[in-house]
Amino acid sequence: MKIYKTNEIKNIALLGGKGSGKTTLAESMLFECGVIKRRGTVEAKNTVSDYFPVEKEYGSSVFSTVMYAEFNGRKLNVIDCPGADDFVGNAITALNVTDCGVILVNSMYGVEVGTQNIFRTCSQVGKPVIFALNKLDGDNVDYDNVIEQMKEVFGPNVVPVQFPIATGAGFNAFIDVLLMKKYSWGPDGGVPKVEEIPAEYMDKAMELHRALVEAAAENDEALMEKFFEEDHLTEDEMREGIRKGLVDRSIYPVFCVSALKDMGVRRMMEFLGNVVPFVEEMPAPVATDGTEVKPDSNGPLSIYVFKTTVEPHIGEVTYFKVMSGTLKAGADLDNVSRGTKERFAQIFCVCGQIKTPVDEICAGDIGASVKLKDVRTGNTLDAKGCAYEFDFIKYPSPRYQRAVRPVTESDAEKLSAILTRMHEEDPTWVIEQSKELKQTILSGQGEFHLRTLKWRVENNDKLPIVFEEPKIPYRETITKAARADYRHKKQSGGSGQFGEVHLIVEPYTEGMPAPDTYKFGNQEFKMSVRDTQEIPLAWGGKLVVCNCIVGGAIDARFIPAIVKGLMDRMEQGPLTGSYARDVRVCIYDGKMHPVDSNEISFRLAGRNAFSEAFRNANPKVLEPVYDVEVLVPSDVMGDVMSDLNGRRAIIMGQDSEMGFEKIQAKVPLKEMSSYSTALSSITGGRSSFTMKFASYELVPGDVQEKLLKEYAEKNQED
């Protein structure tokens, strides 16, 4: 195939909510360009996009698919992204390596939460947006109402380029107000018939044409002056104005299509080829050192790996974008992210499963290679003498967790390797080997996201696995001061063991004054602090140890052993076995033996004295609480609020955002384990949520009592 230069390349992300028709649109686009001779369908499981076994099983996209189309002397790289919110990581990746997002809107339903989420993501990464109203041939479509809704949600920058003459089963024509022509199709779509606009539609066409001209003129002072003087712009001037408006995100053109019947697809592709900004017209990406890296084919060679996957019949495939320079087959590059070297023996332009070998790929273009030795998603590879590194893709926090284990315990190592590989393919799958919980915790964007991973492990890797409810990482602390002492004494012939420790525990807060005097009953204890250790804890909070020993009751060499004993109990709290935090300990007295005292004796004495004092200090269990933000349609707001209240949520605020209601709440992690599924059920899949760790808070008394009882029963069984 032809080697395309940077000024001939356009990179486009195909986006939209679940069921909006992206895969079908991709088929029509490839058909229009002659890449495929016959359009496949999702139902027949023969589309270019959804070619992985799990996608054929589910009947919907799970992975983003890289494709290209050669159209009117341009190369359009298109990345078809899954619509389900669970796979948002694919859309985020695609938007970061493309230059424009085409968002499909299902005309039968209008603006859905999925549409809004995708638009928000485009805004966050600053990419131009084009809307395509799909399924205009569906039932109960009200075009004017959908446009009105889009303007209400996305703002006045929504500007129609086309409007349909009829919708529903009769949709087969629209008026294009950029070219001021009527387009119509036969039953099989394809090449349209282009005619003059009928008189009965001219007034509406002129009104929308003028709005489009005004929107285009606003982006260029020269165009604005000409518009004021002559009251019109040429077609080329309008294109130039719209292109600048796309880059500035001050215009969101709206097109009409029926992806299934291939109506309006070719016209939209003409716009993508003629008007959408080229790679070099977009703001240059920035390397980690702050350097702007322009897509210059003659510049130093640097590529960014945005996707790695294992594909049927091929093995490991690495997808990359050439950020600068020109990559040639056989090139040797340094992986600056991993400190290794790689040879790109073959490079390909990709269209789903079709991999076309090419000799070189220029800056701004997207390609792939196979069987590289040590390359991961997010790596940067540079030619000798180049020092660029990129890290510009930021993924959302996980929203759904499950503990995972193999059915057969001996397969634990194999499962760990598989999960590591899958995280490298999709960074939104997060794997943690939790020492605290003694579980492997798998986190993702939702139940469907994790269920997809399970399907792949069991069907592709033939390893049966079990999902379980993850344990909650509770914390333990104290709420008042208490004292205790413990003597460890053991004699069994020869030298024995002896150590006695007296200590006081109290809650610790930052900036609290040094310990002075404590009173327990009628007894007063005056502290004389010799030295203080502040130990930041890996799980949050601190342990502060004050050495208040006077008169040499305990030799200084035994203090580190006592601290080890304290840490033993901080790592396994006395109440539930959870980590303890925010405790200050004053070691003020004790005894030792000239022969039998040793480190182990004082470690055990310190541990047991701490346990007793901790239990007497009105101990409390803390639970992780998350900030949760829920976006819901107004008609189900009451049901969602009611469900949150049942999850011990504290509602922090309510607001409206782009046509939806936004609920802000603080919710205990324990109550969020099945929230993704419940919310989808309550709202019919029309809502979304985000969650972020906020703080540790005291659990209610009844919950603490239950936790203590469960822990006691478990210890009895053990």
Please check whether residue 488 lies inside any domain of the structure: yes
CA angle (583, 586, 588) in 5-degree steps? 160
Average of per-residue pLDDT across 477-491: 94
Q: In the Cβ-directed half-sphere of 500, how many Cα atoms lie within 13 Å?
A: 10
The DSSP result for 318-386, as a single string, is EEEEEEESEEETTEEEEETTTTEEEEE--EEEEETTEEEEESEEETT-EEEEE--SS--TT-EEE-TT-
Residues 162 and 277 in one domain: yes
- Is the pLDDT assigned to residue 718 strictly greater than 60? no
**CATH (domain of 565):** 3.30.230.10
* 515 Cβ contact partners less than 8 Å away, ≥ 6 residues apart: 504, 506, 527, 529, 546, 548, 584, 586
* 41 Cβ contact partners less than 8 Å away, ≥ 6 residues apart: 24, 27, 47
Residues 51 and 198 in one domain: yes
Last residue of a domain, one of 226, 247, 281: 281
**CATH (domain of 172):** 3.40.50.300
Which residues sit opposite 81 in a β-bridge? none
Please check whether residue 354 lies inside any domain of the structure: yes
- Is the pLDDT assigned to residue 474 strictly greater than 80? yes
Residues 73 and 179 in one domain: yes
Residues 614 and 629 in one domain: no
Which residues sit opposite 16 in a β-bridge? 104
Last residue of a domain, one of 356, 382, 408: 382
Please check whether residue 293 lies inside any domain of the structure: no
- Tens of pLDDT along 418-433? 999 899 888 999 999 9
Residues 416 and 565 in one domain: no
Report how far apart, in Å, the C-alpha atoms of 1 and of each of 70, 124, 349, 350, 354 are. Answer: 10, 35, 9, 12, 13
Query: Which pLDDT does position 8 carry in this prediction?
Result: 94
- Tens of pLDDT along 436-453? 888 999 999 988 899 999
Q: Is the pTM of this model over 0.85?
A: no
Please check whether residue 481 lies inside any domain of the structure: yes
Q: Which residue has the higher pLDDT, 658 or 584?
A: 584
Residues 271 and 336 in one domain: no
Q: Which residue has the higher pLDDT, 459 or 491?
A: 459
Residues 244 and 95 in one domain: yes
Average of per-residue pLDDT across 340-366: 94
* 451 Cβ contact partners less than 8 Å away, ≥ 6 residues apart: none
**H or E element, residue 75:** strand 74-80
Query: Which pLDDT does position 712 carry in this prediction?
Result: 86
Residues 127 and 264 in one domain: yes
Query: Chain centroid to CA 214: how far?
Result: 38
**CATH (domain of 628):** 3.30.70.240
Query: Which pLDDT does position 494 carry in this prediction?
Result: 67
Query: Which pLDDT does position 85 carry in this prediction?
Result: 85
Query: Which pLDDT does position 28 carry in this prediction?
Result: 93
Residues 188 and 330 in one domain: no
Average of per-residue pLDDT across 293-303: 95
Residues 588 and 644 in one domain: no
Give percent of the chain with pLDDT exceeding 90.
71
Query: Which pLDDT does position 233 carry in this prediction?
Result: 76
Q: Say how many domains are in the chain.
A: 5
**CATH (domain of 365):** 2.40.30.10
Average of per-residue pLDDT across 64-69: 94
- Tens of pLDDT along 70-120? 998 999 999 999 988 889 899 999 999 999 999 999 999 999 888 988 998
Query: Which pLDDT does position 633 carry in this prediction?
Result: 86
497-507, strands of its sheet edge to edge: 482-490, 497-507, 583-591, 542-547, 531-536
Query: Taking the alpha carbons of 496, 500, 505, 511 in that order, is the dihedral positive or negative?
Result: negative
**CATH (domain of 420):** 3.30.70.870
The DSSP result for 183-196, as a single string, is EE--TT-SSPEEEP
Which tokens hold the place of 260?
Answer: 């299934």
Query: Which pLDDT does position 425 carry in this prediction?
Result: 86
Please check whether residue 345 lies inside any domain of the structure: yes
Which residues sit opposite 28 in a β-bridge? none
Alpha carbons 183 and 198: distance in angstroms, whole number: 11
Alpha carbons 112 and 582: distance in angstroms, whole number: 46
Last residue of a domain, one of 587, 602, 618: 618
Q: Which residue has the tokens 């409206």?
A: 656
Average of per-residue pLDDT across 594-614: 94
Please check whether residue 51 lies inside any domain of the structure: yes
Alpha carbons 51 and 56: distance in angstroms, whole number: 7
Please check whether residue 365 lies inside any domain of the structure: yes
Across all residues in the chain, what is the average pLDDT?
A: 92
8 Å CB contact between 403 and 442 = yes
Average of per-residue pLDDT across 289-309: 95
Closest CA to 507 of 474, 549, 543: 543
Helix-helix angle 412-425:447-459, to 10 degrees: 120
Average of per-residue pLDDT across 39-61: 87
Please check whether residue 432 lies inside any domain of the structure: yes
- Tens of pLDDT along 230-252? 767 777 888 888 999 999 999 99
Query: Which pLDDT does position 717 carry in this prediction?
Result: 67
- Is the pLDDT assigned to residue 658 strictly greater than 70? no
- Tens of pLDDT along 169-219? 899 999 999 999 999 999 888 889 999 999 999 999 999 999 998 888 887
- Is the pLDDT assigned to residue 612 strictly greater than 90? yes
Residues 44 and 185 in one domain: yes
Query: Which pLDDT does position 568 carry in this prediction?
Result: 94
Average of per-residue pLDDT across 357-371: 96
Give the pLDDT band of residue 414 (cuts 50, 70, 90).
very high
Q: Give the domain extent around 667.
A: 621-703
- Tens of pLDDT along 27-37? 999 999 888 89
Residues 465 and 492 in one domain: no
